[in-house]
Amino acid sequence: MTDYDTRKLQCHCCGKTSEHSVLMSSNSFGSRDLDQRPPKMYRWTIASWLQECPYCGYVAPSIDKGDAKARSFLDTAEFRAASLDPAPDPVSRRFLVRAAQHAYDGERRSAFLSTLSAAWVADDSNRPSDAAALRLRAAGHLEGPRITSIDTRLLLLDVLRRASSWEAAEALTAELTAEELDYPFAEIVAFHRDKIAARDDQRHTIGQALEGKPPPPVAVKDPELLKAIARHIKIVPNPRRTGP
């Protein structure tokens, strides 16, 4: 179940008050997509992930919060350009404004993720050409110094595949394969490799990539540690995750 509340918030940047719908709770059941897009019902709350001040245009998860950099960004050409972005819907544009702020602050991964969220909006609106263009735009935020994070590179791999950027996807697949990754990363890379070879640019989930591929057994040499782990599993429930 998803719950919202309507609240009046004072903008961190201009100080004016406006009314906003605030997401109070939601849930997600099922496997995330390979680009970490959450399953329903949480994926349907995307319009509430960012707020926008109707007076100054400040965009944030909650416009009553921010820092000095957020205020200074509003005076930049980058903010003005992002605010005038011809995105076909306000939700996508909010993510692109947020991406521009992250890029201005030098936060490449955050700019990448915000732009990817805009692509998810295009997916839901059945605009595959826009979604592909936004994915390539997201990938552009990661250009520059080499990315070492496996997590970020796996996200980028899915972004390139979904955007039909086959040459770049094949190069990244080869790079990751050469690193001899452990479970589940190696299995996800292999899944991508097969889909890229088939020129498959469709949405797939992490569950699909790991289907029929259980994690390898872990040898525990300390029997007392094994007992402690068993007790922990019995006592501590497995919480259901509700976040993005």
Q: pTM of the prediction?
A: 0.87
**Statement to judge: residues 14 and 108 lie in one domain:** yes
Task: Indicate whether 241 belongs to any domain.
Answer: no
Task: Indicate whether 229 belongs to any domain.
Answer: no
Task: Indicate whether 100 belongs to any domain.
Answer: yes
Q: Which two tokens stand for residue 96?
A: 């692109």
**Statement to judge: residues 42 and 125 lie in one domain:** yes
**Statement to judge: residues 141 and 169 lie in one domain:** no
Structurally, the chain folds into a number of domains equal to 2
Name which of 89, 99, 160 is nearest 121 in CA terms: 89
Q: Which of 145, 176, 204 is the last residue of a domain?
A: 145
**Statement to judge: residues 131 and 93 lie in one domain:** yes
Task: Indicate whether 225 belongs to any domain.
Answer: no
**Statement to judge: residues 201 and 124 lie in one domain:** no
Most confidently predicted of 22-36, 69-83, 213-227: 69-83
For residue 4, give its domain range: 1-145
Residue 104: the pLDDT is 97
**Statement to judge: residues 130 and 175 lie in one domain:** no
Per-residue pLDDT tens digits for 99-158: 999 999 999 999 999 999 999 999 999 999 999 999 999 999 999 999 999 999 999 999
pLDDT averaged over every residue in the chain = 90
**Statement to judge: residues 132 and 154 lie in one domain:** no
Task: Indicate whether 238 belongs to any domain.
Answer: no
* Chain Cα centroid distance, residue 37: 6
Name which of 89, 98, 19, 93 is nearest 54 in CA terms: 19
- CB atoms under 10 Å from CB of 51, counted, come to 22
Collapsing DSSP to helix, strand or coil, 72 comes out as helix
